[in-house]
Amino acid sequence: MQRQIAAGLFFAFIAVACGASESASGQFTATQNCEAFSSFAKRSNPGAVQVAAGTSYTVREINKVDYDWLRVDVPGAEPSLRWVQRSCGTPALTAQSAKAPAGQAGGESCSIANKQDSYVLAITWQPGFCEHASYNGKKPECDALGSGKLEAKTLSLHGLWPNKKECGTHYGGCEGPAFALTKETIDKVAPWMPNFYFERSFGAYEWNKHGKCQALPPDEYFIKAVSAVRVVNDSEVGKIVLGSAGKSFRVGEFFDRVKARYGEQVASSITLVCTQRKYLQEIRVALPLDFSTGGELPQLVGNAPAPAPREIGCDDQVLVEAAGRN
């Protein structure tokens, strides 16, 4: 019996060893704020560390060949090596570590323009992002919010992301025209994407990562994205968030209100994204390929594809950071 146990332990050890992490190199650019774990199996996160959207990190390991976790170097964290979910951003690995199964991130089919089958509209609650993201002075709109020079009066555009079913969130990085906007477009976008008041680096990042994967030129793409945000801002969704600034709401009550106002199709198309499990950071809306911004929220959502998860990283009670200076 003891020999059987020992043999079992030996083969269990071999199985674990075969599934061990693999060395990797390259960069990982976060497209959202996500927890950075010292151990993703135990979900341990000393210091409540997060990677920040728009920031690149050096990759040290991946959890397996067809990886879904990357170990990156997070400056200032203790320990500095942290595990981050692949779906949190865009990996750019080198050599063998860059290989992935067909249909997943890195495959050529996931970076060919105009192959999208739907969209995701990512909308930021700017005070929630700025208060809890480690932006280290790299977000002038956040500095302006903190100093009182800028006030969040509406929801803000994070990005309009073309999606392709077999690629999931990894559809992006397509070839396309360079990022360039007219002054008229910049003036129209800035109130809804406040980074545009100060610089255009984030806009360029969103265009290069997502915008090039669809057919609209940059001006039309950003105007259409802003028009979609305005529809959400003026809807029951915007009323709940703006009306809760400095307070909180329950996730269940949020979706009950949206469902009561617009029905199940609209409610199931929305995902709430939180940081530190309790602060509202983002609202994502699943949109169909041919979405229209000429009506209200049901017309925008239309026949959106399969329902999205209703929340990512949110506890039942969600806090909405105050819109003005504290």
pLDDT in tens, 180-221: 999 999 999 999 999 999 999 889 999 999 999 999 999 999
Determine contact, residues 210/173, Cβ cutoff 8 Å. Answer: no
| Percentage of the residues of the chain whose pLDDT score is greater than 70 | 86
What is the mean pLDDT of the segment spanning 28-45? Answer: 88
For residue 168, give the DSSP letter. B
Is the predicted pLDDT of residue 138 greater than 90, yes or no? no
Report which of residues 306 and 29 the model is more confident about. 29
Q: Please, what is the average pLDDT of the chain?
A: 86
Number of H helices, E strands in the chain: 10, 15
What is the mean pLDDT of the segment spanning 152-172? Answer: 90
pLDDT in tens, 101-124: 433 444 568 999 999 999 999 999
Determine contact, residues 89/112, Cβ cutoff 8 Å. Answer: no
The answer to whether domain 18-99 and domain 109-319 are alike in fold is no
Is the predicted pLDDT of residue 248 greater than 90, yes or no? yes
Is the predicted pLDDT of residue 97 greater than 70, yes or no? no
CATH of 18-99, one of 2.30.30.40, 3.30.1240.10, 1.10.1040.10, 3.90.550.10: 2.30.30.40
CATH topology for the 109-319 domain: Ribonuclease Rh; Chain A (3.90.730)
Domain ranges of the chain: 18-99, 109-319
DSSP β-ladder status, 56-62 and 22-23: antiparallel
Say how far apart CA 277 and CA 291 lie, in whole Å.
31
Tokens 């390259």 belong to 26
**What pLDDT score was predicted for residue 10?**
39
Rounded to two decimals, the pTM is 0.70
Model confidence band, residue 146 (pLDDT cutoffs 50, 70, 90) = confident
